[in-house]
Amino acid sequence: MVTGDDTLVATLLPYNYFNLKIEYHNLYTHFILISQNRIPLIPEIHRARIEKYITGIVNNNDSRLYSIYANPEHAHFLVSRSPKISEETLATIVADSSSRFINENNLAAGVFAWQQSASAFSVSKSDVDKVCRYIINQPVHHKKVSFAEEYDELIRHYQKTLKWEIS
């Protein structure tokens, strides 16, 4: 199209518009869910049952769980996520479903809820084994480092450009 001032104006409309299907992907994500107010409500006796339930949730949402550990006040899990589902959606499904499961089966020392926010960190394929070992090693790790220290360290590691604002 040519306008009155002889400038060519192109309109970009898709020709045969369609959604591309992503057939191959490496969307590894390390999630951390934290219990409401960081209260340690997950007893060791129910940890494995909760982990198996979360594994099923992940697997039923076109994703694959590689490693999980449910600490008393937080849970780590590493997944290979389907491109059909965002980190936020998967974390929300896991949090909502597992909270309901924990409460319906009386698996916590009180009424259980996850915080309304979670963390999701991308992981390169070359670091998958390292992150799996880190997650599985949580009991030993937390004998040396508190969860608050661990979380601050993870934030600094993954978000080096994060600006800390003190109010």
> 108 by DSSP, 3-state: which?
coil
Whole-prediction pTM:
0.78
Domain boundaries, the chain: 28-158
Length of the chain: 167
CATH of 28-158, one of 3.30.70.1290, 2.60.40.10, 1.20.1250.20, 3.30.230.10: 3.30.70.1290
For the stretch 33-54, pLDDT in tens is: 999 998 999 999 999 999 999 9
Instruction: List, for residues 115-155, the tens digit of each pLDDT value.
Output: 998 989 899 999 999 999 999 988 887 778 777 777 777 77
